Amino acid sequence: MRRATTWAMAAGLLLTLAGPGRSEAAVITVRYAEGVTHGFLTIRSQAGELLAEGDLLQVVRPEGVDSRLVFHFRDGSLHDETVVFSQHRVFSMLSYRLVQRGPTFPEELEVRVEREGGRYEVRSRRHDAGEKTARGDMTLPPDVYNGMQITLLKNLAKDAGETVQILAFTPTPTLIPLELTPIAGETAQAEGRSVPVTHYVMKAKLGVIKGALAALIGKKPADYHCWIATGSVPAFVSVEGPLYVGGPIWRIETASLRRH
């Protein structure tokens, strides 16, 4: 059976096939501070089938921005991801939580990570096996950004890319370099109005040998494609990618609200 690992946005997703983390931090400068947000989102298959409905719930507290992404799937499955981060000149992830459970996911997962004290706890359970638990301490580099990829893309300088790091859970946390690269300027339609967008690719940086091995055994992580509206103020449009390693490519996008 396929083994699941988280990559959060997203989410999240890379196994121990990645190379070692970088020694130099690439922290992202705050160009647009985050504020109170309630976004309405959907997950659809490549064929357009509605799979899940969700909410992005974001509030600003004295200790940092509390951002929670929740998806409820039609089959009863749950993806619940919360990241707390500060935005004093640069973005810094303070804590991270993730819950994935239900028939959509081949492995149920509960993740807790705290920057203060470097504590982590990961519980995973495959549907045909017992539970595994990993807990301990680790020092988090300043450029670890689980659950913050969309925020980072909105704050990159025009036509600029960057490489940051995320934690993969196998179940022990593993640092993975992640490239954020703009590849094209495109347009999107908003009620018949054309809006300029930038198409980004998010790619895990695997070592040459481990990358070849990942491709050989069918576990090479898929690239993620994200579209951000540009202009005076950036805005999320959509993202395409799996929610777990080896999973199907799904499209997450904003939902239109209309009065009855």
Q: Omega of the bond prior to 177 within 30 degrees of 0, cis?
A: no
Mention every residue, 6+ apart, whose C-beta is less than 8 A from residue 62. none
CATH number of 67's domain: 2.40.360
Question: Model pTM greater than 0.75?
Answer: yes
User: Does some domain include residue 59?
Assistant: yes
- Measured CA to CA, the distance from residue 142 to residue 191 in angstroms comes to 40
110 domain residue, yes or no: yes
Identify whether 154 is part of a domain: yes
* CB contact at 8 A, 4 and 221: no
**Close Cβ partners of 128 (under 8 Å, ≥ 6 residues apart):** 1
Looking from the CA of 18 toward its CB, the CA atoms found within 13 Å total 27
Residue 3 counted as domain residue: no
Rounded to whole angstroms, what are the CA distances from 132 to 99, 108, 169, 209? 15, 10, 12, 28
H runs (alpha helix) in 84-176: 149-155
Digit-coded pLDDT (tens) for 48-100 = 999 999 999 999 998 899 999 999 999 999 999 999 999 999 999 999 999 99
Mean pLDDT, residues 108-123 taken together: 94
Amino acid 258: pLDDT: 80
pLDDT tens-digit readout, 194-243: 889 999 999 988 655 455 545 544 556 789 999 999 878 999 999 999 99
Q: 187: domain range? A: 37-254
- CA-closest candidate to residue 111, choices 103, 102, 101: 101
% of the chain with per-residue pLDDT over 70: 84
Residue 235 to residue 98: CA distance in whole angstroms = 24
User: In total, how many domains does the chain have?
Assistant: 1
**What pLDDT score does 72 carry?**
98
Instruction: Tell me what the pLDDT averaged over the chain comes to.
Output: 85
Whether 85 is in a domain gets the answer yes
DSSP tag of 223: P
In this structure, is residue 1 part of a structural domain? no
Q: Which 3 state secondary structure label does DSSP give 177?
A: strand
CA torsion sign for 49, 214, 121, 7 is: negative
